[in-house]
Amino acid sequence: MTMDIMEIQQIIPHRYPFLLLDRITDLTKGESVIGYKNVTIGDNVFQGHFPGHPIYPGVMILEGMAQAGGILAFKSMDMTEEEVANKVVYFMSIDKAKFRSPVKPGDKLEYRVSMIKQKGAIWIFDGKAYVDDKLVAQAELKAMIVDK
């Protein structure tokens, strides 16, 4: 299953400048999702991180992973568009986060997120981020789907 930016925006509430997914390239319900963000010098974060030496912030990489995990959770629950519109994913915790290599303008940041566990409204994900198949960041993410 693939999704373009318009389909992504129907599921998660994030918008520019905080929508950190450009496309979903693969999704297996209840298992995993792969998506990406094209990192460009036009991204607002580079105004201050860091002038003359632009590095994409690790916290933004983690947020992109979380957004991909949110897509996986919503699509795994087989909710209608109306049900999705009345729910939101809250990021609860980040564990075992590691940043292995800097991400720079011009990189295609690929998120590979798989489900570790789901119990009720709680979801636990294994998130990894890659640039050119090189692991640049990873973390275990916990989220909860709640009513708006």
Q: For residue 130, give Cα distances in angstroms to 35, 82, 97, 138.
A: 10, 33, 14, 9
Strands (E), the chain: 23-28, 32-38, 87-99, 108-119, 122-131, 134-147
Q: What tokens does 65 get?
A: 């992973």
Q: Is 49 a catalytic residue?
A: yes
| Cis before 50 (ω within 30) | yes
Q: Count other Cβ atoms within 10 Å, centred on residue 64.
A: 27
Specify the 3-state DSSP secondary structure of 26.
strand
The catalytically annotated residue of 9, 13, 45, 49 is 49
| Active site (catalytic) residues | 49
